[in-house]
Structures are given as C-alpha cells and as structure tokens.
Amino acid sequence: MKALLQRVTEATVSVEGEILGRTGPGLMILVCAMQGDTAANADALAARTSKLRIFRDEDGRMNKSVLDLGGSALVVSQFTLAADTSRGNRPGFSHAAPPEDGRALYEQYAKALADTGVPVETGRFGADMQVALINDGPVTIALEA
C-alpha cells in the first residue's frame, strides 16, 4: 500500500459541494492499495502513520506524532498513487488493486488508523472528490507498506 501524508492545519473532502470529511490540525492522507496488498499491509501502514514524528515539538523540531499532538486524520482514496509513468505521456494504473480490493483495503487502513487512537474521517471511495487543505510547513511524506 502507498500513502501520501500531508501535515495540515485543516483539510476537507467534498462531493458535489457536500463536505464528507474534515480534519483540523493533523494529517491529510491519500491512500492507494496496490495489487497483492493485504489487510496486514493496511494495518502496518496505519501503525507507521500514527507513529510518524512529523509534528513540531516545543523546540520546533519534527519530534511528535499525530498521536502525540492529539490531532486527527482525513483519509481519502487515491488510486492515482499507483501511476506508472515510465513510458509515454499517459500514466498507467495497472498496478493498482482492483476496485473491490482497493475499497476493502482503504476501509481497513482507515479503521486500523482509528484503532490506534487517531480520530479519522474519510472521503467516498471511487467518487469524484474535491480536497481542500492548508499544508503546514509544507510537510509531505510518502509511505509504503
């Protein structure tokens, strides 16, 4: 699985003008399940996400996790993280998990992250979503499991 974590002061995801999920200070997370991924990958990625120290401590160093901060997360499915751009000008997405597997693993990731103690809100799998965020730093980190 792949995830792109953005440290944010706030973020929202909406569909057709309706806000489905939001977060205050915390993480905006784009998640993609790849072919061959399992629930164990989703659980491992969620555990790494909750413990990743990318928030400032009292000295201004990135030394706190979203758990330490007491922050929350907005998790949005993003199959385009599977893009293969090695040939031509049009990305291919054949390495992404099939939609039914992708949905299950996306939901597993969000549940596993919530189970660590991070409040989680989500978008709508497969929908045409609009994401708005204020990236803090900016800090953007790619993770894989």
Q: Which residues pair with 13 in a beta bridge?
A: 21, 131
Token duo for residue 110: 């969000």
Token duo for residue 33: 């399940």
* Ramachandran sector of residue 126 (left: φ over 0; alpha: ψ -120 to 50; beta: rest): left
Q: What is d(CA 118, CA 137) in angstroms, rounded to the nearest whole number?
A: 21
27: which residues sit within 8 A by CB, 6+ positions away? Answer: 5, 6, 7, 8, 49, 66, 71, 72, 73, 74, 118
SS3 call for 26: strand
Catalytic residue numbers, as ranges: 78-80
